[in-house]
Each structure stands twice: as C-alpha cells, then as structure tokens.
Chains A and B, each alone.
Chain A
Amino acid sequence: MQGVLTELRKTFSNVVAVDDGSEDGSAAEIMKAGAVLVRHAVNLGAGAAMETGLAYALAQPGATYFVTFDADGQHQVHDAAAMVALLRTGEIDVALGSRFIESGEAQGIPRSRRLLLQAGRRFESMTSGVSLTDAHCGLRAFNRAFAQQIRLKLRGMAHASELLDVLKRSGLRYREVPVTVLYTAYSMKKGQKSINSVNIAMDVWLHQLFSRRAGR
C-alpha cells in the first residue's frame, strides 16, 4: 500500500489515506508515504471510509477536484490523472471509472467475477436509473458540487449503489471513463467475496423501498 501512495504522490500533491481501524502497519505505511493519515477508531467499512476521506478533503480550502482511489494497487495513477483532466475541461462534474467500456481493461479478472459484475450492472440500472457499463469501480473523480452531496448510509459495498442514487438525484453531468483495473493476488485477497453481492442487493433494495420519503 505504501507503494501505491508513493506513486500517487508523484502526480497528486494532496493525498488522504483513511485507515479503517486496521491493526496492522497500515497507519505507519501511510505516514511513511507522506499522505495525510485519517484513522477510524473502529472499522466502519469502505463506504464510510470514503466519506471520511472526502469530509477531510472538503475541509481543505482550495480543494476543487476529488479522486477516490483504492489503496490495494488495482487502479492506475495515470487513469486518475486523465479523469481530473477531463473534469478541468468543465464538460462534466463526475467521472466514473469503467473496466468494461470500450478500451477499458480488467486484467486477470476471473470469468465468474466478470459475469457477476455484469449482473450487478443490470440490477443497478434498474434500481437507480443510472445506466453504466461498470457499476462498482472504485476509481472516481468529481468536483466539489458532487463531493458535498455524498452522504452514505448503507454499510459495506452497497455504498457504490447508493452513490449512483446520489448522482442521479444531484442532476450533475457524469461520464464513464475507460480505466484499467488489475486483479492481482493481493487485491483479490483484500477484495470482497462474490457472495457478498447478495447482501449488497438486499441492502440496496430495502433502502430504495423504505427510504425515499423518510429522508436521510
């Protein structure tokens, strides 16, 4: 992970890393890499960790563009840079990474995972009304207008779906950008199990059913 952060710091001067209550050496690695260390006292899950990182970044004066980047080495720094460049043109407010859009790549992806992600995509476009080629890519870039609207209530990986919900309601302009995602042994080990998709689907569905008017 330290390598990922060091690599990021070569292109992006302000890097915030959220340690989600881990007891291994993550916090020390983050400090060595020269990133801002924000440490959850207890484990809260990926969605909450992302929101924490954004909350910290939003509090920094002058922060205009925000990138979410997985620290396990599956994303490429140049992809993130290309997304920010696209935001700078002012054509869009949100850039979403996609492995499956033309010229995007998912290297070493197991066939089962590919099928599952495609099923997830169909579920996503049904429930959120946002039609994407890749619903669960962790690499995204967006401007302040979108960052400020992100409030995630769903635990676990369902936050990716909830984020699309926020995106749809915001009415902001978005585009998918082809990215390369590396499926390394490390990222597969740190990543989620396929069966978790059942939990994700259930959470999203319940959320959609009951939370419309109750507000967030």
Chain B
Amino acid sequence: MSVIKAILVVAIVAAALWALRHRENVGLRAGGRLLLFAVGALAIVSVAVPDITQKAADAVGVQRGTDLVLYGLIITFVFTSAGLYFRQRDLEYRFATLTRALAIHQAVEPADLTGSIPELPDSTA
C-alpha cells in the first residue's frame, strides 16, 4: 500500500470519528443532507452517462468505475449505520425517561391502602 493510500485511510477514519462526535452540529447535518442531494444527482448522471464512473475512477487513480462506486457506498453505509445507532440510542434514552416519569407518577406507597398495581399497557394491541 502506497503512502498516499495510508494517509487517505487514516484521514477517512479521523473524519468519521470527528463527524460522529459532533453529530449534533447543525452545519454538519445540513452538509449531510446536501451531500445526499449531490449523490442523488450523481446517480442520475451515471445512469444517463454510464461511462462517467470509469472516467471519474481514472481521474482519481482507481482501477474500475464500479470499485469507486463501491468505496462510496461503503463509506455512506458506515456513516448511515453509525448515525442510526446513535439516534436510536438517544431515542431509547428519551423513551426510558418517559417511562420513568410515568412509573414514578404511578408509584404505590405501602401506606397507600387504596393503591392498586399500575396496569401494564396491553402489548398485544
């Protein structure tokens, strides 16, 4: 592996770490969405002009156009998965907070003789 490749790999990893740490940054999120539009436009162009991926690959020194597309796909996939992972975790935390508030609201104290066991929601519904 040539030195430039090693540098590129390190740069990608560093960029990924940085982006994920600052995932709440508005500018970054906006950038991500603009990128999505750009990728969509590129997809249309590459359907209309199939040779263009090969030309792009030649320009950056990748052997085949399909490889270039594959690299892009992998990077997109990694970022998307990581983003979804964190979003899901944040949602889970909100969900836990909500359930906690409800549970404390419905807490039954031993002295409270009229208290009845809080019902669980019907999970089959």
Contacts and interface: CB of A to CB of B under 8 A. Distances in A.
Interface residues of B, number: 30
Contacts of B106: 38-39
B60 to A, nearest CB: 29
Contacts of B82: 210
B117 A42 contact: no
A55 interface: yes
A210 B103 contact: no
A41 interface: yes
A23 B107 contact: no
Contacts of B123: 42
Nearest to B89: A153
Contacts of B120: 21, 23, 39, 41-42
Contact of B100 (A27, A52, A155, A209): A52
Given A39-B103, A153-B89, A212-B21, A48 B96 contact: yes
Nearest to B25: A214
Contacts of A52: 99-100, 103-104
A155 B92 contact: yes
B57 interface: no
Contacts of B102: 41
Nearest to B105: A38
A35 interface: yes
A85 interface: no
Given A41-B99, A41-B121, A48-B100, A210 B20 contact: yes
Contacts of A23: 120
Contact of A213 (B21, B89, B107, B109): B21
- The size bracket of the interface on A is 20 to 34
B23 A37 contact: no
A34 interface: yes
A75 B89 CA distance: 31
A37 B99 contact: no
Nearest to B123: A42
A35 B104 contact: no
Contacts of A209: 17
B28 to A, nearest CB: 12
Contact of B110 (A18, A21, A31): A31
Nearest to A45: B96
B96 A37 contact: no
A175 B102 CA distance: 34
A27 B117 contact: yes
B103 A18 contact: yes
B37 interface: no
B104 A31 contact: no
Interface of B: 17, 20-24, 82, 85-86, 89, 92-93, 95-96, 99-100, 102-104, 106-110, 115, 117-118, 120-121, 123
Top 6 A-B pairs ranked by shortest CB distance?
A37-B108, A27-B117, A34-B110, A48-B96, A52-B100, A38-B107
13 contacts: A28-B117, A36-B107, A37-B108, A39-B106, A39-B108, A42-B99, A44-B96, A44-B99, A48-B99, A55-B100, A206-B85, A214-B21, A214-B23
